């Protein structure tokens, strides 16, 4: 997110933003599977994000 974007207020909004980010990366040819370290300086916690591809089911969008 950039400072110009609206703040997230729920897990559902977070999921929607993550879905959009992963789709943009995939469509741009970026291999989105694997681990990503998110270092955020002293003001925010750091995170480790693991992305794995899962099998589609009948309920997938």
**Parent domain of 43:** 33-60
pLDDT tens digits for 33-55?
Answer: 999 999 999 999 999 999 999 99
Q: Which residues of 1-32 are buried (b: 16+ CB within 10 A; e: fewer)?
A: eeeeeeeeeeeeeeeeeeeeeeeeeeeeeeee
The answer to whether residue 15 is domain-embedded is no
On whether residue 19 sits in a domain, the answer given is no
Percentage of the chain lying above the pLDDT 90 cut: 79
Residue 50 tokens read as 């693991």
Overall domain count for the chain = 1
Q: 58: pLDDT confidence band, cut at 50, 70 and 90?
A: confident
Q: Cα–Cα distance between 24 and 12 in angstroms, integer?
A: 18
pTM of the model: 0.75
Mean pLDDT of 8-36: 96
């Amino acid at each position: 997110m950039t400072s110009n974007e609206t703040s997230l207020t729920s897990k559902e909004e977070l999921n929607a933003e993550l879905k959009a980010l992963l789709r943009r990366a995939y469509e741009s040819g970026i291999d989105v599977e694997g681990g990503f370290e998110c270092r955020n300086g002293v003001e925010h916690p750091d995170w480790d994000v693991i992305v794995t591809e899962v099998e589609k089911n009948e309920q997938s969008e």
